[in-house]
Structures are given as structure tokens and as C-alpha cells.
Amino acid sequence: MSVVTSPPSTHTPAYGHTGGGSVWTRPGWWRALLWTILAAALAIAVPALVRVIVGWPWWQYEVMSTCLMIATPLGFLSGIGCFDYWGKYIVGSPLPEGHADHGAYSWRDYFKVNTDHKVIGIQYLVTTFVFFLIGGMLAEAFRAQLASPSNTYFTHDAYNGLISTHASIMIFLFIIPAFAGIANFVVPLMLGAEDMAFPRLNALSFWMLPTAGLIMVASLIWGGFNTGWTGYATLSTHDPTDQGTFFNMGVQFAGTSSILTAVNFIVTILTMRAPGMTLSRMPLLVWANLTTSALVVLGTPFIAASQFMVMFDRVMHTKFFNVADGGSTIMYQHIFWFYSHPAVYIMMLPGFGIISEVISVMARKPIFGYRALAFSTVSIGVLGFSVWAHHMFVAGLQPWLRVPMMVTTMLIAVPTGIKIFSWVATLYNGVINLATPMLWAMGFLFTFVIGGLSGIWLAVLPIDIQVSDTYFVVAHIHYVLFGGSVFTIFAGLYFWFPKITGKMYNEKLGKWHFWLTFISFNATFFPQHYLGMLGMRRRVWTYDERFADWNLFISMMAFVLGAATLIFVYNAIISWWRGEPAPDNPWRALTIEWQVSSPPPIFNFDGAPRVVGGPYNYGQPGAKHVVFEEAPVTAAHH
């Protein structure tokens, strides 16, 4: 891996590692193992002791599983070293000097708490991709079940476990954090900043993710939580397989991680721009991440609250969602969707940002309507908070809320349409380079428009009532989250692969990956619109005999889709390992991250960047976005 540079002789490894002591007392995997076990023991012993003292039976499943899943991740995070610096800071102990935990000097540094945004970005991307593969395998498993209506590979509980973990992993552990990973690597560079505003917070955000993911994946050992990724009460509060804790706590850790990252991005973007980088010179990816971060900060507490309430109902027998005792099940859906609808934009806006970058660079034209694109991003963010109840049209929603929610939902098509038209107008008369990232961007335009149009259909009350809980909705969500978000993630991964790894990916394999994915994706999900309209219900392990032919076809295409992803895995590994060294700026892009070496220097810039123009002046000879000034070297200002 070429990100690894030879360690300078004076480099000291991450703080604490030199301070003597054994592997059990300094930050790292051994201490993490030890503290995880200790935390687990305490999480059993303390509640057990209290319960014995009060005179209750010492073991109670809900209490113990909840305590375990709160304590063990915290034990792991402390053990691996996420809190060491703050602990010393708070009590006023001498702090470790310098940048010992910044930057990767060997592959081992990727397995440590590291504060370099580029290392964290790679940690995010690799981790989330592993979860993408796990989530994908779950999908292949239930597509095998669905290949014929009479298959019996899984019981209906196991089937529900598969679909629930599939959705939760894809949403909370792939799409949302994968965008955070790309942004982590790219945004500070685009801003001309040395790092994020809070590098240690950034590290903590990352390390929360694998813990959240392991909690969710671990539930598969017992068959998986099976309440759907929405975990509607009272299904979740009275789930007979009783694995709600896995979902509750997995969501809490993933959610905390994304809130902390969002705080970090907002402060970074507002305070750490290079001189000359006015708001109207920011690349659109930065605008997208600023808006997304605002959505995360303001929205995510609602899903946290909804999962707390479910947990209280399950563990402490409160009555939030118990209708007989004054609770309300619709309330769960209101609070849940108040986050989870904006979450759709959390999962899409960063992708819009990526597409703006890729299309402008690859069409060699200034982006059409920079301001319109930036403002439509912000207005999608604002409008996104006013549409949540369109998920509840058939749930017994207050009737007066229906039409307003239908109207606001349809309104969101306006800023989204502005984006689509701006991208198409950018392509018009462009000198288009059909390299792999551009193929993904064009594929995105195609599939996302289909997903957007079916979204407008679903906003319309009578149609929504007709197709609720059918495969039409499944088709729609996959057209926007796979054809939308995942396509943009791939566009971004190919686009920045040379910058991140310092190697070129294999163009031929990239194109195979795209075309196979594009064809099999559409073949998998387009027929589902049709099946949904005919009344095939989602979240059921079997279906009516008359849908059998289409479902066999869909399952086969789903296997092709899965196989296509392996091409990417192979391409990424082989190119990273022994690919052609990448030039600094293979796409001849103007934004700052392309003006530094590939991969970038450990501290990002050799000179001080000063922004002198817009980021998208392509096709204009001599246009510059940034110049580097050789500044006199003074003392580090950290």
C-alpha cells in the first residue's frame, strides 16, 4: 500500500506506546480485549448484585442484554484508546506532545486510534465496505429463499431476521458512514485545511462504527432481530424472539457516531477554510456535507429517542407504546420518521455532491448553475423535515396531516429537479470523458430519475395507499438508495481512488463492474415495480404462485449483481497492491485535493493554500482555483 511511507527516524508511535507498561495497560487491541471482557463482567455483576440486594432474581434477559451492549462497546472504545487524551486533558495531566498519533507510517497504524483525517477516511471506507459485503450476502440469502414460493431455506422468523439486518446494515453501516468516509478524506483537503476541527473526536466517531456493526451482526447468531429496520412498536416492544436490544443499541452507537462526525464537519467547514475560500467558492461536495451534517445533528436525536423509548418499554415496562395504558403506536412512527425521512437525504445529498464534482470535471465544463445547486441542496435539507408523515399514510395517521404531507413531499421534487437539470445542462456540449467514475455518474442520473419519479408517485395519496407495503416500495427505495446513493459512492470511490491510494484502478475492470451492475441492478429492481402494482407484499418469505417466474428472474439477476461487486473488490485490492502509480491529478481537476501529491502528504500541504477562484472553471485556459504560497516555517500552531 503506497499510503505507507517509510517512517522517519524520529517518529514516535501513537501516544502511550512508548510509555512503558505492558500491552495490557497501553492503548491498543490487547487492552481493548481486556477492558471489553472487564466491562462485560461488570455489566453482569453490578445489575445482578443490585437485583439480589433488592430481592429480585439475579438474571433478567432484557436488563442484562441492555447493560452488556452499553458497557462492552464503551469498554472496547476506552481500551483501544479513544479516550486517553481527553482523560489526561480533563484531569490536567501532561499531554502527549506532537503528532505521534497522526498519519499512517505502516499498515499497522490503520488498526490504531489515529487522528489523521485521511487515515480515518480509509478506515471508514474499508470498514463500511466490509459491512456492505455482509449486507449484500444477507440479501443474496433471502433472494435464494424468494427464488421460488415454496423454498424452505429459512423459517419466516429467520427470513425476517435477514431482511431486517440487511436493511439496518446497509443504511446505518454502509451508506451513511461510507459518505462520511469519503467526506473525511476529501473535505479537509478541498477546504485547504490540515485536518478536521476535532481530530480525536473524529477517531472516536470512526471506532464507534465497527462496534455498532458488530452488535447488529451479532444478532444473527440468534437469528437476527426481525422487526424490520423500522422497528415499529409494538412489534419491537413485544417481539417474541426478543432481540430488540441489538437493534436499539446498534442504532444508538451508529447514531452517536454520525452526530459527532456531523458536529466535526460543521465546525471544520465553517472555521477551517483556506484564505480566499468564501462560501460561494466551496466545492459542491462541501455544500452537500454541510447540509447533510445539519440534518444529522438535528434529526438523529429523534431516532435515538424512539429507540430509547422502545428500550424503556421493553426493559422497564413503561407504557409509551401501550395503547391500553394511554400510549400510542402512531407516536413511535412520528418520532422515528422525523429522523428517518431526513435520513433519506442524509443518504443522498453527499452523493449529489460527488456527482457535481465528477460531472463537471469529466465534461470539462463549469458546473451549470452553481448557486442553484448549492441552494437546492440546502432547500432539500430544510424541506426534508416537513415530509416525514408520508411514510404513515396507511398507518392511521391524523387525517388532516395527509394532504399537507403529500404537498410538501411533491415540493421536494422541485429542488431535486433543479439538480438533475443542472447536471444535464453541464453535460450539454461538454467534452465528455467516459472513464469509470463518469459512467457511474451517468448511470446514477438514469436510475435516480426513475427512483425520483416513483417517489413522486408514492407521494400521491391514492397511489401510496394502493401500493403501500408492496414491492413497488421496495423497488423505489432500491432505485434511490442503490441506483442513487450506492452508484454515487462507487462514482466517488473510483474518482478519488488514485488520490486515496496513489495507484490507478484498472479501467477495464471498472467498466465491467459498472455495466454488469447497471444491467443486473435494473433487471433486479425494475420488475419489482410491476410485481408491487400487482400486489406482491414485501417482508413476506413467500408469495403467490403467479409471481414465481418474475421472482426467479429477479433472484438470478440479484446473484449477478452480487458477483459484479466482487469485481470491484478484486480491482480495488489488486490495484492498491500493484497498480500503476497514479499521477497527482489524473482527471485534470481544479479543486484543492488534486493539487497535492497522490496520496497527499501526511500534513496535506507543502505550502499554504490560498483560493483565488471558483472550483469549476473548466475549459477556461489558465483558470486557477488555488495557489500555494511558500510560507515561512514557524512553530506549529497546534
Partner 1 sequence: MSAHAETPGHGGPPPGYGTVGHLDRVMMGLIVALASEVMLFGAFFTAFFYVRYTNYPVYPPEPFEIPVDSTGINTAILISSSFTMHWALVSIKRGNRRGLTLGLLFTLIMGLTFLGLQIREYALLHGDGFTPEHGAFASVFFALTGLHGLHVFVGAVLLATCLLRTLRGHYSPAKHMGVELSGIYWHFVDVVWVILYTLVYLLSNGARAPL
- Which residues 82-141 are close enough to bind partner 1 by CB under 8 A? 90-92, 98-99, 102-103
Q: Does 607 bind partner 1 (CB under 8 A)?
A: yes
Is residue 282 part of the contact set for partner 1 (CB under 8 A)?
Answer: no
CA 7 to chain centre: 32
**Residue 309 binds partner 1 (CB under 8 A):** yes
Q: Which is nearer to partner 1, 104 or 170 (by Cβ)?
A: 104
- Can you tell me the distance from the alpha carbon of 626 to that of 590, in angstroms, rounded to the nearest whole number? 8
The verdict on 601 binding partner 1 (CB under 8 A) reads: yes
Interacting span for partner 1 (CB under 8 A) from 174-182, 297-305, 364-372, 534-542: 297-305
Asked if 634 is part of the footprint of partner 1 (rule: CB under 8 A), the reply reads: yes
Phi-psi region of 108 (alpha: psi -120 to 50; beta: other; left: phi over 0): alpha
10 contacts partner 1 (rule: CB under 8 A): yes
150 binds partner 1 (CB under 8 A): no
277 lies in the site for partner 1, by CB under 8 A: no
Residue 180 amino acid letter: A
Which grid coordinates are listed for 629? 504560497
Q: How far is the CB of 209 from partner 1 (least distance, A)?
A: 18
583 touches partner 1 by CB under 8 A: no
CA dist 345 and 349 (Å) reads: 5
Q: Rounded CA gap, 567 and 513, in Å?
A: 6
Kindly state whether residue 21 participates in binding partner 1, applying the rule CB under 8 A: no
Minimum separation from the CB atom of position 632 to partner 1 (A): 6
Can you tell me which of 325, 507, 549, 580 binds partner 1, judged by CB under 8 A?
Answer: 325
The 8-class DSSP code of residue 444 comes to: H
- Find where cell 433471502 sits: 142
In which element (H, E) is residue 286 found?
A: helix 284-311
CA distance 33 to 50: 26
Q: How many residues touch partner 1 (CB under 8 A)?
A: 71
| Cα dist from 18 to 27, 31, 100, whole Å | 11, 15, 10
Q: Does 312 bind partner 1 (CB under 8 A)?
A: yes
Binding-site member from 322, 386, 466, 620 for partner 1 (CB under 8 A): 322
Is residue 317 part of the contact set for partner 1 (CB under 8 A)?
yes
Q: Which of 66, 78, 289, 306 binds partner 1 (CB under 8 A)?
A: 306
When the beta carbons of 363 and 596 are compared against partner 1, the nearer one is 596
- Which is closer to partner 1, CB of 206 or CB of 472? 206
Q: Establish if 271 lies at the interface with partner 1 (CB under 8 A).
A: yes
Nearest to 435 by CA among 370, 479, 498: 498
User: Measuring CA to CA, how many Å separate 184 from each of 116, 124, 211, 391, 484?
Assistant: 9, 8, 19, 32, 20
Pair 161, 222: CB distance under 8 Å? no
Query: In terms of CB distance, is 254 or 439 closer to partner 1?
Result: 254
**Residue 603 is a binding residue for partner 1 (CB under 8 A):** yes
Contact of 347 with 481, CB cutoff 8 Å: yes
Using CA atoms, how far apart are residues 164 and 402, in angstroms rounded to an integer? Answer: 27
Q: Which of 50, 270, 431, 569 binds partner 1 (CB under 8 A)?
A: 270
Of residues 297 and 460, the one with the C-beta less far from partner 1: 297
Please tell me what DSSP assigns to residue 242: -
Site for partner 1 in 180-209 (CB under 8 A): 194, 197-198, 201
Nine-digit cell string for 331: 407516536
Enter the C-alpha cell of residue 154.
429459512
Stretch that binds partner 1, among 110-118, 229-237, 334-342, 367-375 (CB under 8 A): 334-342
Interaction of residue 152 with partner 1, rule CB under 8 A? no
Q: Residue 627: enclosing H or E segment and its boundaries?
A: strand 626-629
Q: Does 54 bind partner 1 (CB under 8 A)?
A: no
Q: How far is the CB of 585 from partner 1 (least distance, A)?
A: 17
Is the separation of the CB atoms in 141 and 206 below 8 Å?
A: no
Interaction between residue 53 and partner 1 (CB under 8 A): no
Among the residue ranges 125-133, 260-268, 458-466, 565-573, the one whose residues contact partner 1 (CB under 8 A): 260-268
**Binding residue for partner 1 (CB under 8 A) from 264, 517, 595, 598?**
264
Task: Tell me if 320 contacts partner 1 by CB under 8 A.
Answer: yes
C-alpha distances (whole Å) from 334 to each of 7, 345, 396, 539, 544 are 53, 17, 11, 21, 33
Extract the C-alpha cell encoding 521: 441492478
Q: Which stretch binds partner 1 (CB under 8 A): 42-50, 319-327, 401-409, 490-498?
A: 319-327
The answer to the question of residue 279 lying near partner 1 (CB under 8 A) is no
User: Cα separation of 479 and 523, whole Å?
Assistant: 12
Pick from 130, 297, 378, 516: which binds partner 1 (CB under 8 A)? 297
Pairing of strands 626-629, 608-611: antiparallel
- Do residues 473 and 538 lie in contact, with contact meaning Cβ atoms separated by under 8 Å? yes
399 interacts with partner 1 by CB under 8 A: no
Q: Is the sign of the CA dihedral 454, 456, 459, 462 positive or negative?
A: negative
Kindly report the backbone phi and psi dihedral angles of residue 398, in degrees, each rounded to the nearest multiple of 5, phi listed first.
-55, 125
Q: Least separation, in Å, of the C-beta of 198 and partner 1?
A: 6
Q: Which is nearer to partner 1, 104 or 344 (CB)?
A: 104
Q: Does 370 bind partner 1 (CB under 8 A)?
A: no
Contact between 20 and partner 1 per CB under 8 A: no
Across the chain, how many H-helices and E-strands are there?
Answer: 20, 2
Binding range to partner 1, per CB under 8 A, among 37-45, 387-395, 599-607, 617-625: 599-607
The radius of gyration of the chain from alpha carbons, rounded to an integer in Å, stands at: 25
Give the nearer residue to partner 1 in terms of CB position, either 322 or 466. 322
Q: Cβ closer to partner 1: 304 or 567?
A: 304
The partner residues of 470 in beta bridges, in order of sequence, read 537
Nearest CB to partner 1, comparing residues 319 and 511: 319
Q: Is 7 near partner 1 (CB under 8 A)?
A: yes
